[in-house]
Structure formats: C-alpha cells, structure tokens
Amino acid sequence: MKINIEKIQIDELIKQAKQAKKNSYCPYSKFPVGASVLTAKGKIYQGCNVENSSYGLTICAERAAVFNAVACGDREIVVLCVVSDDSKWITPCGACRQVIYEFGKNVLVIMVRKDGKIKKKQISFLLPDAFSL
C-alpha cells in the first residue's frame, strides 16, 4: 500500500525524533535513540529509549513513542520515524516491529542516519508474517 506523506511531515517527524533523542536516558549503552509517530489524526508523539540498571527493563524509543500515542487515545499509527547518532541506519528491533504492527498494519517506518540520510520501509516488509489475533 502506497502512503502519501508530504515532505514537510517527514521533516517535522525527523525534527521531533531528534528532539526526543535529547531526552534519552541511556547511561549504560550511551546510545541515544529518538522516535516520533504520526497518527491518522495528524498528531505527532515522541519517544526516547529509557534504560534501567536492571538492563532487561529498558524500553526502546520506538515503543515509547507508540505507547505515548496510545496513552493519549491516539491508536492509529501511519508513520514512525527513528533516529540515532549512528553512522548506520537504525532499524527497529523485533519487539518494536511487532508493537508497531499492532497499531498500524501499513505503517511507514522512516530510519534516519547520523548524516541525515533516510531509508523508508513498510512495516509489512520489516516484519513479514507478523503475528496478529
């Protein structure tokens, strides 16, 4: 499914994901990540990775952004953008892919590299044969 996203919306999503990255709590990995999601209502929600001294309790930026939207009563996700300071593109982990899929079967995932280059993939491409009830 082809989704039409305006360049201006992509720019705003990247800006907000970078803003969220500033709030990342990552004293253990020192790997800040920021994410933003655009919902069908046209609203944008932010998320960052939040780590814990009990490492397994860490939440990724992507899930934090999705849960932020859901907590605000906005459940239909259209685009998710994720940024890090890595020279490679950051791609959502498997757990985040499943969570993204839950709230949008056609989500467009925009991945942003440190130098600003972007890569776009559909969630159905990133998570083929996703589980759903």
The residues, any chain, with a CB within 8 Å of residue 83's CB and separated by 6 or more, are: 14, 17, 18, 21, 33, 34, 35, 90, 112
Using the minimum distance from each CB to ligand THU, give the nearer residue, 61 or 77: 61
Question: What residues pair up with 45 in beta bridges, in sequence order?
Answer: 37
What is the CB neighbour count within 10 angstroms for residue 78?
18
Active site residues: 62
Residues that bind ligand THU (CB under 6 A): 26, 29, 31, 33, 49, 51, 58, 60-62, 82, 90, 92-93, 96
Query: With respect to ligand THU, which residue has the nearer C-beta, 31 or 118?
Result: 31
Q: Please say which residue, 41 or 114, places its beta carbon nearer to ligand THU.
A: 114
Distance in Å, CB of 132 to ligand THU, minimum: 21
CB 107, min distance to ligand THU, A = 14
Q: How far is the CB of 4 from ligand THU (least distance, A)?
A: 26
SS3 of the chain: helix, strand, coil, percent, to 5: 30, 25, 45
Helices marked H in 22-119 — which ranges? Answer: 61-71, 94-102
